[in-house]
């Protein structure tokens, strides 16, 4: 794939080849993106968006790059199944000063979780699992854990464990619904051993203790809960989790560059991560390159992907579970995924919870004005610890993807705001 050679100013502005290439700029689609099946490029005005408004994404990203908040990224927007914006910004590798490429791969962290939600819903459609099922139906070792923290007990910090006198007996079993909505209390577990698989590790969670009684609170289970769901999918489908995702989600949707383990070619496209400290960008502890190969196929954080693939994933959800003439989910499953399943438990738990609720591994907007997110009522999605973010907005028939590798809230907020301001009809 050929890429235009850009000067440093052009890379910082995020203009890419599309700004200079006649016939491409009107669609704001970078050279090298290629055709995206099911999401053809179109003029923003043809789907009720302002070209000038969408160009502000480039200026916004350039501003954050110049301010050393991020080193680069890729942004994508589609409306009414038409691609109206797809641009690389800044640098693929800040240290080497290589320009961002549109097919760059990103460590998705918790942006993995909506995929796990889809896998769970597929198994529910087949009658193999229900939200009301106790997790012990599939993993008997988790019928009861050590106990639950007594009310008023401070939540543990990393590396800490509850003492026996801080615990009370578990009031009821954890259900699939608890795990799917972050209301299980199962938010930490024993240290994983090198080379462990889901099948080996998940039963050892019997050694864990709950932060609260199941179903009584919402607290983000960054790793443990979704990994239990991934193991449930392995058990009910009879397939290793990575193979299941490829066969039943990635291949039907056309997500050709999404995986836990990458090929050498894909590894070369992973955006290099940096952290800004002491006035300069530096490689983070542990390195900022491609993740190592693994036998632990996490449902919580394990995927690496591209803007193109997540645009297709969100498009499938926008189209009520179908893409390329293939059904990945039933409409009622998408509706369930995006419903508020936790009542008022999500409110006040995080900085971005006003006017929102929580469904199956996604946050959903209940009150557009109160949420202040720029998304409409009914919009749903999630993000990752390194700054990746994507969502589906059914009311506006819009999907959007932000791929960055620094966790900067203001970049996410600005991206949402610019898109909302660009809507004209």
pLDDT along the chain (425 residues), means of 10: 32 37 57 88 96 96 98 98 97 97 98 98 98 98 96 83 94 98 96 96 97 97 97 98 98 98 98 96 93 97 98 98 97 98 92 91 96 95 98 98 97 97 97
> What's the confidence (pLDDT) of residue 26?
54
Three-state DSSP state, 109: helix
Q: Tokens 């009311």, residue? A: 395
Q: What is the pLDDT of residue 10?
A: 38
Residues in the chain: 425
The token pair at 161 is 């464990």
Largest interatomic CA distance in the chain: 70
Distance, CA of 326 to chain centre:
22
Q: Compute φ and ψ for 276, nearest 5 degrees.
A: -95, 115
- What ranges do the domains of the chain cover? 105-371
Reported pTM: 0.93
Confidence (pLDDT) at 160: 83
Q: Are strands 148-149 and 167-168 parallel, antiparallel or unpaired?
A: antiparallel
Contacts of 308 by beta carbon, 8 Å cutoff, 6+ apart:
33, 36, 76, 86, 102, 103, 257
- Secondary-structure class of domain 105-371 per CATH: alpha beta
**Where is 332: in which H helix or E strand?**
helix 331-337
| pLDDT score recorded for residue 27 | 58
Q: What per-residue confidence (pLDDT) applies to 291?
A: 95
Question: What pLDDT score was predicted for residue 155?
Answer: 78
Task: Please give the pLDDT value at position 17.
Answer: 36
């Amino acid at each position: 794939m050929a890429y235009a050679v850009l000067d440093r100013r052009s890379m910082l502005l995020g203009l890419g080849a599309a700004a200079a290439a006649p016939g491409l700029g009107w669609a704001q689609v970078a050279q090298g993106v290629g055709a995206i099946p099911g999401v053809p490029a179109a003029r923003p005005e043809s789907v009720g968006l302002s070209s000038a408004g969408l160009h502000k994404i480039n200026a916004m990203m350039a501003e954050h790059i110049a301010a050393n908040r991020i080193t680069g990224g890729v942004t994508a927007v589609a409306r009414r199944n038409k691609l109206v914006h797809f641009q690389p910004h800044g640098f693929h590798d800040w240290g080497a000063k290589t320009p961002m490429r549109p097919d760059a791969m990103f460590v998705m962290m918790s942006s993995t979780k909506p995929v796990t939600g889809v896998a769970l819903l597929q198994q529910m459609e087949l009658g193999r699992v229900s939200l009301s099922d106790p997790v012990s139906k599939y993993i008997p070792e988790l019928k009861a854990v050590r106990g639950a923290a007594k009310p008023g007990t401070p939540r543990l910090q990393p590396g800490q464990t509850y003492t026996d006198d801080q615990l009370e007996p578990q009031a009821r079993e954890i259900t699939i619904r608890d795990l799917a909505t972050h209301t299980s209390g199962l938010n930490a577990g024993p240290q994983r051993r090198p080379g462990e698989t889901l099948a080996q590790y998940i039963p050892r969670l019997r050694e864990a203790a709950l932060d609260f009684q199941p179903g009584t609170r919402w607290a983000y289970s960054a790793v443990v809960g979704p990994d239990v769901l991934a193991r449930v999918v392995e058990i009910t489908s009879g397939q290793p989790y990575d193979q299941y995702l490829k066969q039943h989600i990635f291949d039907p949707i056309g997500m050709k560059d999404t995986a836990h383990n990458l090929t050498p070619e894909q590894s070369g496209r992973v955006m290099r991560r940096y952290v800004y400290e002491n006035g300069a960008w530096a490689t983070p502890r542990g390195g900022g390159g491609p993740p190592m190969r693994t036998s632990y196929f996490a449902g919580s954080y394990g995927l690496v992907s591209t803007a193109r693939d997540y645009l297709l994933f969100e498009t499938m959800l926008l189209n009520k579970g179908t893409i390329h003439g293939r059904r990945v989910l039933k409409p009622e499953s998408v509706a369930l995924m995006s419903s508020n399943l936790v009542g008022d438990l999500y409110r006040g738990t995080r900085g971005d919870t006003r006017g929102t609720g929580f469904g199956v591994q996604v946050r959903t907007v209940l009150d557009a004005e109160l949420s202040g997110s720029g998304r409409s009522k009914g919009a749903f999605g999630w993000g990752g610890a390194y700054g990746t973010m994507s969502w589906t907005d059914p009311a506006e028939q819009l999907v959007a993807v932000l791929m960055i590798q620094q966790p900067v809230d203001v970049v996410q907020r600005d991206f949402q705001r610019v898109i909302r301001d660009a809507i004209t009809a």
